[in-house]
């Protein structure tokens, strides 16, 4: 084989190696995207629910020291604390490519209060408030939560009661 033929074979070999390298890079990037996309389906949803429930329980605890006459203020404090916590959770989830939205559900809370009239509960903007020893106790809430990671969508409307 002459020098020109060897150069041609060597060039073809280098081009082939470059193509193999390019395919390997694309495959690595592509599989990395799919590995992160399934966060909610790989137990991540349980983590989101846990963080959500902890935030709600903590907000209820800090909003339950108001006198009964100030029950509206207790509900507004609860909503304010919950909104701040859920905005923080949303920001953290967005860093991982997850869209998260949370809102209070007034109509669902109305259904709960209507079925528990004997306990003297009230619905104040989706917050369930009960009178205990002349104090307004935030004893629950109704909410809508939505999360989407590019593959899995989680959408839930729920009543959460704190004991």
Are 55 and 110 found together in one domain?
yes
Are 153 and 106 found together in one domain?
yes
Are 53 and 18 found together in one domain?
no
pLDDT at 27 (0 to 100) = 52
* Total structural domains within the chain: 2
Are 120 and 51 found together in one domain?
yes
Are 64 and 5 found together in one domain?
no
Are 74 and 96 found together in one domain?
yes
Q: What is the pTM of this model?
A: 0.74
Are 92 and 155 found together in one domain?
yes
pLDDT at 145 (0 to 100) = 95
pLDDT at 31 (0 to 100) = 46
Per-residue model confidence as pLDDT tens digits over 68-125 = 999 999 999 999 999 999 999 999 999 988 999 999 999 999 999 998 877 778 999 9
Per-residue model confidence as pLDDT tens digits over 32-77 = 444 555 677 767 888 899 999 999 999 999 998 899 999 999 999 9
Listing DSSP states for 52-114 in one string gives: HHHHHHHHHHHT--EEGGGHHHHHHHHHHHHHHHHHHHHHHHHHTT-EEEEEE-HHHHHHHHH
Question: Could you tell me the residue range of the domain that residue 26 belongs to?
Answer: 1-37
């Amino acid at each position: 084989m002459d020098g020109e033929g060897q150069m041609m074979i060597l060039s073809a070999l280098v081009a082939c190696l470059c193509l193999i390298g390019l395919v390997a890079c694309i495959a690595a990037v592509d599989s990395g995207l799919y590995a992160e996309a399934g966060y909610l389906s790989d137990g991540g949803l349980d983590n989101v629910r846990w963080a959500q429930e902890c935030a709600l329980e903590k907000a209820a605890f800090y909003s339950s020291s108001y006198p009964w006459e100030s029950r509206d203020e207790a509900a507004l404090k609860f909503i304010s604390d919950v909104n701040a916590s859920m905005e923080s959770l949303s920001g953290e989830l967005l860093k991982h490519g997850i869209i998260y939205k949370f809102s209070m559900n007034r109509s669902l809370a109305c259904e709960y209060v209507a079925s528990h009239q004997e306990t003297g509960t009230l619905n104040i903007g989706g917050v369930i408030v009960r009178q205990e020893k002349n104090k307004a106790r935030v004893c629950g809430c109704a909410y809508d939560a939505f999360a989407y990671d590019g593959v899995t969508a989680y959408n839930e409307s729920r009543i959460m009661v704190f004991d």
